[in-house]
Every structure is written in C-alpha cells, then in structure tokens.
Structure 1
Amino acid sequence: MYSKVAITGMGIISSIGKTVEENFTSLTEGKKGISTIENLETIHKDVIKVGEIKLTNTELAQLLGLSSDNNYSRTALLGAYAAKQAVQSAGINAINEYRTGLISSTSVGGMDMTERYFYDYFKNEAVQKYITAHDAGDSSHKIAEYLGLEGFVSTVSTACSSAANAIMMGARMIQAGKLDRVVVGGTDALAKFTINGFKTLMILSDTYNTPFDNHRKGLNLGEAAAFLVLESDAVVKEQNKKVLAYVSGFGNANDAYHQTASSENGDGAFLAMEKALQLAKLDISDIDYINAHGTATPNNDLSEGRALIRIFGEKVPEFSSTKAFTGHTLAAAAAIEAVYSVLALQNNVVFPNLNFQTPMEEFDLMPQTTLKHKEIRHVLSNSFGFGGNCSTVIFSKN
C-alpha cells in the first residue's frame, strides 16, 4: 500500500541563485534571472534571452574543488554542486550508511563539451576525454562519484518531465523496499544544440517569457540543477530526521499526440494529474497551489490550461509558472520546481507568475501575479515534455 515518502534535504543552483535561500529570496522579491548569453558562443547571442547561471565552468570546478584537468561537463558540474547541497541539507555524513541511490535526469548531458571538442577529436588525443563525457549517464556517475555514493545509480531522460520521473522512481523504490534513501533530481546546461533546436521549432522568445498570457511569444531556455533527498520512514525515525515535506502522490501519462506538441485538450496532462490525486487520496479541493509547467509557448499553455479546467472545473486553485524567473530548464525543470513547491509549503506562499498582462482568449483562467501568503498544505507540480511525456507530483506538509 502506498504511503508518503519524506523529503529531508534539497539543493539547487539556477539563474536566480546558487542556494535554496537565494532562490527563495529571488522568488519572493520578484528577481528574475533572464538575461542575454555570456558564457556560450552562439549566433543567437544577441537575439534571445535565457536563464543563464553567471558562473563559468572553471569557476564551478573551483567551487567543487576539482582539478583543472577534470572532464566534467557543465551539466555534471551543476548537478554535483546541487546534489552536494542536498546531501548536506539532509545532514548526511556517511552517504553509504544505508542503502542509498542516485536517480539523476538530464536531456543535454555532455553536449556542451561535444560541441566544443568534436572537430578536434581525431587530431588531439587530449580532448578525447571530453567526448567520452557526452552521454547522459556520464553526468549521473560523475555526481555519484563526487558524493562518494557506491550504491544504485540510474539516469532518466524523458525530456522536460525527466526530473519528475526521477522523483517518482525514487519514491517507488523506497516504497518497494529496494532502497532506504535516494538522491533524486535533474541537471541541464545551456548548449548550442538546444538553443538551435528550439530556435528551429520557432518557440523561443526574443524577450521575457510571459506564461499564460494571451500574447505569449515563446519560452526562454534556462540552465539549472536541483536535487532532493528522499528517505524511508524507518530512516527518518531512526535518525530523528527533520522532514521538509512529503511526496504524497504522482502520476505520469503519455498522450501520444505529437513529437513535440501537447494534445490540444491536455489529455496527457489531465491523466497525469488525475493519477497523482488518486494516489495521494486527495480531493481537488485539497490542492492549495499549482506550480504549473507554463512554458509560455502557445501550445503548452493552452493545453495545460484546458487540462486544469478538466480536472478542477470552475475552481482551479491559485497557480503560477515560475519559468518567468528561471527560464525553461528542460530536464531540471521539475527538480527546481520541486524545491519551489517545498518552499511554498514551508513558507505558506504562492509565488507570482511574472510578466502576465492579458488573459488568454480561449478560457477564463488567471494565474496568481503577485506574491500571496496563505495556508498551504498540498502543492501540485506539473512537468510536460516532448514526446507526450506528462508527469505530475504532489508535495504535502504531512
């Protein structure tokens, strides 16, 4: 029988802060991290805005105490930094004391290194180590290695729902008695590959993204990493752990509608939310805040909005997309938004949906546009990805 899984630690680095505290301050003070590109050479540099972390790879490596000849991709650097924070936040001093796993997610992987060194691969043996860091699993193993974790390691890559599925998988492994605790989350760095790809799809905005606005022009890509520590009831009790929140429900579905677009009626989103509510044994009236996927693309916001109405009817809870702060961080999106969901629970706040001006003409839905203080017991977080990958996680106070 399913029971809730405790969250005992979390760590994050994004364009609005390199700690949990810095991210919370930015969210409550309306400080967005959307800017022009500085750390990446691209022909689109002056055309688009992104949620870029203003630290170079060298600076990140120094923060991690890595040698200058390391072959960590930017994805791995960001991931190791956030995962270490999460483990420290959970008060874990002996990472292998219990059956501990890592489930990390990414879509970019080591693409930033591949782009830089691909053409020199056969000419310069010294750069070959960077190409071997290309695959998605390499970043997960680098993070595990950095943490000193010797147990189960897995990688999830289901586009923009990846980290939500990592959280689900970790919770299920604890419930099945396979692991005692799991570090779960996601990490993705900006790369020319993703910038060019989204540019080709014509869904990048040349200005600040405006989720759920009738005149939305598209998304801002971002980079980030975030991880949560999930622990079993037995470990929490044995170590008298402070619990930050609980994973109380989750669901995933695939509407099989299109390679990149969501179903116009939000079929996958509807099914994911429905499953999560059923698993959590919650009524629609129990949800106090929705951290929406809200990418500010024409298709996503219409699809998600319709799905919300199908689930909640005329009583859609207060909702907002925090992507106006961070940009869309792809596989890391559900992880950073999990941290934001826990912060909402801890501080009883609904974060604002920045840049919103005009309601969408297709339905009467208004996101929360200012910081609001209220009692929050349950937060529903949506993450929807290419290929119809739709996932929902519900976080609860107790």
Structure 2
Amino acid sequence: MTRVVVTGLGAVSPFGAGVKAFWEGLASARCAIEPLTLIETEGFRARIAAAVPAAAVDRLAASRRRSRADRFGLAAAAEAVEDAGLSRAELARTALVVGAVGGGMLETEAWYWARARGEPDAGAGLAAVLPCSHADVIGRRLGLGGPRETVVMACSSGAAALAMAADLIESGAAPRAVAGGVDTITRVCYMGFNALKLLDPEPCRPFDRDRRGMSIGEGAAFLVLESYGDARARGARIYAELAGHAMTTDAYHVTAPDPEGTGMIAAIRGALDRARLAPAAVDYANAHGTGTPQNDRIEARALARVFGEGRLLVSSNKSQIGHTMAAAGGLEAAATVLTLTQGVVPATVNLTSVDPEVPFDCVPRVPRVSRRVVASRVVVTGVGTVSGVCTGGAAAIGPVLESGRSAVGRVTAFPTDGLSSHLAAELPAGALAALVEPAEARRLSRVSQMTLAACRLAVRDANLGDLSDAHLIVGTEFGDLRSTEEFAAGYLRRGAGGLSPLAFPNTVMNTMAAASAIALGLHGSSITVNARRVAGELAVGRGAALIASGRATAVLAGGVDELSPLMFALLARLAAISPRGGGEEGCRPFDQDASGPVRGEGATFLVLESLEAAAARGARALG
C-alpha cells in the first residue's frame, strides 16, 4: 500500500492568518471566543463566536467575485503549497479536495436579506454561493491540475476531505493533493444552532460536567498530502504520516449521534486496522469535543471502548477556536500534526470540572508536554430515477429515451413573475407518493424525499437485500435551497421567534444523504459532493473508487437537485438560465442561437458493486 505523508500546512483561524498564529494561539491556551459582530445577534440565546480577526481578513487577497470563505480557503491552501515547496510543474499534477458546507452563504444571505426588505441589491460574491466555489478559486489561482472534488459532510467535511485525498494518492490517481476544509460564520448556521438550543451563551466547555453547548467558529486549513516515494524523491520535509482513515454512518438521527457510539467505534477501529496499529500505539486523541452534553459523553464512551479508560490524553481545540464546521477537520488535523512535531498537547482551556462520564485526562486549562491495493472490477446492478419524464428502474429509462419525450414547460410550482425565464422541467405532482411513506414525507424535505425515492428504486432494481454495510454518495449542486429559504424567511417575518429547529438541519447539504441513510439502514460512509453540473458524475466516480480499492462491496451513488424559488431567482440574477419564455424552443443544445440552459429537477442513483460480490449473489450486471 502507498504510504501517504504530510509535507505542507496552511491555516486561517480565529487567532489570525497563518500556521504560526494558529499554533501560538493553541500553545498559549488562548480562547478566541468573544462577542460576535460579523452578523446581527439580537434576541439569540448565544451572542458569541470565534471569528477570524478583521485585521487578518483585511490582509487576505480580495475580489468582488470571491466570498469570505473563498478568501480563507485560498490563503490557507496557498500557505500549504508554499510550505511544501511545490513547483509549478508539480502543482499541475496535484489534486484538490475541499471540505465545505456554507460556501458563499454569508454574501448570499446579504443579497437575500436586501431583496426581502426591498433594499438595494449589492450582489457581491453571489457567483461564489456554492461550496464548490472554493475549489474553483483555489484550483485556478494555484494552478492545481489534478482531480478536483468538493465534499459536503457537515462538521466532518474537512476530515473527510483528507481521507478522500489519501484515497486518490493510494489509488495512483494523483501523486499528491491539497486537502482540507473551509467555512465561515453565516446567519443561517448561527440562527440554526440557536434554534436547536445547542449554543452555550458563554465560551464552550468540552468534557466539563456543567457544559451547556458549543460555540461557533470559522476558518480554513489545508494540508499537502503526497506519496512517501514522491516526497522523498524531491527532498521534501515530512511532518507526519497519514497512516489510516475510515468513515462510517450512524444511520440513527439527522442531528444526534447514536447513543452507543457504534459508528464512532467502527470508524476508529477501521482507521487503526488500515494503519496496522494496535490501540496501545496511540497516546493522544484530538477529540471532536463540541461541548454539547450528548456528543462529549458518547465520544468519550467510544474512545473508552477502543482504547480503554484513562490511557489516552484527550483534548478539544474547540474550547479555543469554537466549532469551525467544515474547517474543523482540517484545523484539528493541522493541530495534531503540530502536536507531534512540537511535543506539546493543546489544552481544553475552559474545562474546570471534568464530567464523571469522561474517563480520560482531558488536559484542563494548561497545555501538556507530550510524551498498493489490487483493484476490483466495478459493475452497475441497479438504477433508480425520479424525473419529469420517468420514475422507475433501468427498464423504465430506455423507452423514454427512445420516445424523445420532454418535460420542459412553464414553471407551475412557484411564481416566476419579474424573472428572465419561466421555463423548467418539473417533477410531476404525486411522483413520490408511492415511494415515500406518509410519516417520512411529514419529516423529510422534498429534495430529501427525492433522494430517498431514487435510492429505493435503485435498491429494488438491484434486488439488493442487506444494506447495512453499503455506502451512500450523493452529488448535488444546490442542495436544499427551498428549506434554507423557508428557514431564513421565518426569521425575516418574526425575528428569532420565527426560527424552526425542525427546518434548520435541512439547510446543510448533506442532510439528504443522512436522511436516506437512516431510512435505508446504511452504516457505511455517507458522503455528499458538491459541484456545478457534474456532482452526480463525481459521486459515481467516488463510489466506483471505493469499490475498486476494496473498501466497499456495494455503494449507492448518484445525484439530486430540485427547483426552488430562491434557486430560480439566483440563477436569473446571474443570467444562468435561458431567457426564452415558453415552449421547448427555450432549450436548444448545440444550436448557434442557444441562449442558456433550462433547469430541471430529479434524482438518479446507481447501485455499484464489485464484480465478485454481484456474482456471488447472482445479481444482473447492467454495465
């Protein structure tokens, strides 16, 4: 197996820009959580957060087209690349994997707020609304010519990006990768966690007996990962080795962890197995440590099950920089590498009374001085699709393609008055009713129902029985914008009292994957990738790579997107949809007079299996 090592580090954190500022803040036990001024906080339970200092932001490269998050990500990635000493030729073969959630949401919120209040529309940064915009900016600016992926997995996005980058290197798809995560504080995120009553009015206290919730933060961190052989050949400095990684899904609840920590335990053991390490070889765990009553208790229980009570040092960087969401995995990975190289374990700074249910030394208040895979052939055994022209399995798709049927027509689901286009391909009313149970329909948003319906059709088409070890990879361009708009509208209508804690989880792109994993009982990894136009293809490619590497025998992979009023208004504002007013003539691919795409909605998922697994159960291979 190819060894993967770390040769470069870059960070933007609540301590400032750069790895030096990040480590000095951690090693000095400073807490960067303070009153929040970036957004309005009037009426909220918590009014504090760990924001990147304004002076540090002002020094970052700016552009009208770049979001605050783009600027964070570019600065951190550029520092990592410079630290690794990569040449232009080496960068041309370097992959990029970005963990992201909010994208340019902060700027889009400002546009939406102004639009809803009838105020002047600035529109700055709107082009960077999607999480995948960070990869576009970083890849283009740094000349990264290898594979490029964006993964949306809520607060595990940054850590997942590192694991997925290591997969690319181990498979030979790229000799090295720039990987990590980026996120900024946004109104929707801050309001949502306030609505869920998960934020502590005071700086968070992970593992404390009296903890009351988490604190939000922001930032970015990227690591340069490369094969050990390439690093040695070019004489690179090696910080550490990424020896093992694993991903699992609880399939328990959208916002709460499995109380037994089953998924955490499986992931830890999977990483140790991949690294060929015994639990006794590990001395320190940089914990997720959010400060919420549930998470800390369950995480401590999982660590104790694997490593034994009391043997590890455990600490949480979130006590100093807050929960930086998609950036958390990258920042905490960089912190862990620096812990190894500097010989100092950062403290859990606000910890005063350790919870009796946490059987570890959690380093309270003061830092501590420390002590090639043979590819499987991949086949498609099932297809499920929900769209304007077809709902069904593989047998239903062929006749529709042969008939040339079109679903393009005037939008009926919401008004389009005043917009440049009125044309789309909508899902027929009632298309999901037979595939989603009434109780599920009441609980799930429409785009989550579309995801689940297509997945169920694919599973039926493949005649796949036991799904417990299967993985799910969802590609999406816009995610659940409809729920995001409804959640924000509640605040604009009624202030903090109008925020719905039930709607908030749907504002995060990976909720579709999480909800479907729960409904289907999937316990393999559940991954969301975000990209313009090709998210579904990337999801299928990622699923095939999982199987080819021997890390999975069955994967559900595909894409989903829905039409929504906000999406339509946003695309019209960016002139990204056809202005033609009606009829199929509005969508004319390859025509010299084509005026832009016509948007549609739907979901299509494939069941991917290894040839051996499919043959063993007598499954039909579609391709």
Once residues 87 and 115 of structure 2 are traced to their aligned partners in structure 1, the CA distance between those partners, rounded to angstroms, is 40
Q: Percent identity?
A: 33
AA at the equivalent of 1:75: A
Distance 2:181 2:160 in 1: 10
Per the alignment, residue 374 of structure 1 pairs with: 370
Instruction: Write the mapping of 1:39-54 to structure 2, written as runs, cut at 5 A.
Output: 39-43=38-42, 47-54=46-53
Taking structure 1 as reference, are residues 230 and 95 closer, same or farther at Cα in structure 2, changes over 3 Å only?
farther
Q: CA deviation at 1:159?
A: 0.6
The corresponding residue for 1:117 is: 111
| Matches of 1:38 and 1:157, distance apart in 2 | 27
Question: Counterpart in 1 of 2:177?
Answer: 182
Report how far residue 139 of structure 1 moved.
1.8
Q: Deviations over 1:331-357 (max 9, x none)?
A: 100100011000011011211111112
Structure with the greater alpha carbon radius of gyration: 2
1:168 aligns with 2:167: no
Deviations 1:81-140 (A, max 9, x none): 111110111012316555211101111111101111125569999745633321111122
Residue aligning to 1:311: 306
Mapped contact 1:36–1:45 kept (Cα < 8 A): no
Q: Is the 8 A contact 1:324 1:353 kept in 2?
A: yes
SS of 1:12's partner is strand
Mean CA deviation greater in 15-24 or 356-365: 356-365
Q: For 1:47-126, what aligned pairs fall within 5 Å after superposition?
A: 47-55=46-54, 60=57, 62-64=59-61, 66-67=62-63, 70-94=64-88, 96-97=90-91, 99-118=93-112
1:289 aligns with 2:289: no
Residue 154 of structure 2 corresponds to residue 159 of structure 1: yes
SS of the residue 1:254 aligns to: coil
Assess if the C-alpha contact under 8 Å between 2:48 and 2:201 holds in 1.
yes
The secondary structure found in structure 2 opposite 1:136 is coil
- Aligned mates of 1:291, 1:148 — CA distance in 2: 32
In the TM superposition, residue 40 of structure 1 has moved relative to its aligned partner by 2.3
**Letter of the structure 2 residue corresponding to residue 330 of structure 1:** M
8 Å Cα contact 1:117-1:127 kept in structure 2: yes
Contact 2:314–2:360 (CA under 8 A) maintained in structure 1: no
**What corresponds to 2:359 in structure 1?**
364
Provide the C-alpha distance between the structure 2 equivalents of 1:316 and 1:262, rounded to a whole number of angstroms: 24
Tell me how far apart the structure 2 counterparts of residues 166 and 209 of structure 1 sit (CA, whole Å).
26
Change (3 A) 1:94 1:363: closer
Q: CA deviation at 1:161?
A: 0.6
Question: 1:209-358 maps to which residues of 2 (within 5 A)?
Answer: 209-358=204-353
Matches of 1:299 and 1:106, distance apart in 2: 24
Which amino acid is 1:38 matched to?
A: T
Cα deviation, 1:44-83, whole Å, max 9, x if unaligned, reads: 5894221111127xx736532x44xx21111111101111
Q: Is structure 2 residue 23 aligned with structure 1 residue 6? A: no
Corresponding letter in the other structure for 1:84? A
Task: Please name the residue that 1:148 is paired with.
Answer: 143
Q: 1:238 to 1:3 in 2, by over 3 A?
A: closer
Query: Residue 4 of structure 1 contacts residue 248 of structure 1 at CA under 8 Å; is this kept in 2?
Result: yes
8 Å contact kept, 2:92–2:146: no
Task: Pick which of 29-38 and 222-231 moved more.
Answer: 29-38
Q: Are 1:121 and 1:127, in contact at CA under 8 Å, matched by a contact in 2? A: no
Q: 1:119 to 1:373 in 2, by over 3 A?
A: closer
**Equivalent AA in structure 2 for residue 71 of structure 1:** R
Q: What RMSD in Å do the two structures reach over aligned CA positions?
A: 2.4
> Secondary structure at 1:7's aligned position in 2?
strand
The answer to which structure, 1 or 2, has the higher relative contact order (CA under 8 A, 6+ apart) is 1
How many correspondences in the alignment?
A: 376
Could you tell me whether the CA contact under 8 Å between 1:16 and 1:325 is conserved in 2?
no
Q: Distance in 2 between matches of 1:269 and 1:60?
A: 35
Q: What TM-score, normalized to structure 2?
A: 0.57
Contact 1:253 1:268 in 2 (8 A): yes
Supply the distance in 1 between the matched residues of 2:144 and 2:43 (Cα, whole angstroms).
39
| C-alpha distance after superposition, 1:266-291 (max 9, x if no partner) | 11111110101111111111111100
Question: Hey, what's the Cα distance between the residues in 2 that align with 1:127 and 1:184?
Answer: 32
| Unmatched tracts of structure 2, length 5 or more | 372-509, 526-623
User: SS state of the match for residue 174, structure 2?
Assistant: coil
Q: Structure 1 residues 325, 120: closer, same or farther in 2, change over 3 A?
A: closer
Q: Cα distance 1:42–1:54, how it changes in 2: closer, same or farther (>3 A)? A: same
| Preserved contact between residue 2 and residue 227 of structure 2 (Cα < 8 Å) | no
CA deviations 1:162-189 (Å, max 9, x no partner) are 1111001111110110001100000000
CA distance in 2, matches of 1:97, 1:361: 49
SS in 2 for 1:190: coil
Residues 295-349 of structure 1 show CA distances to partners (whole Å, capped at 9, x for unaligned) of 0001100110110111112343111011011000001001000110000110112
Seen in structure 2, the aligned counterparts of structure 1 residues 330 and 363 have a Cα distance that, compared at 3 Å, is: closer
C-alpha distance in 2, partners of 1:109/1:266? 30
User: Alpha-carbon deviation of 1:151?
Assistant: 3.0
Return closer, same or farther for 1:138/1:229 CA change in 2, 3 Å cut-off. Answer: same
**SS state of the match for residue 92, structure 1?**
coil
Structure 1 counterpart of 2:23 = 24
Asked if the contact 1:37–1:45 (Cα under 8 Å) also holds between the matched residues in 2, the reply is: no
TM-superposed deviation, 1:17: 3.0
Aligned partners of 2:193 and 2:45: how far apart in 1?
16
Q: Taking structure 1 as reference, are residues 390 and 46 closer, same or farther at Cα in structure 2, changes over 3 Å only? A: farther
Distance 1:268 1:38, change over 3 A: same
Alpha-carbon distance in 2 for matches of 1:313, 1:374: 19
Matched residues in 2 for 1:14 and 1:39: separation? Answer: 15
SS at match of 1:104: strand
- Match for residue 139 of structure 1? 134
SS in 1 for 2:54: coil
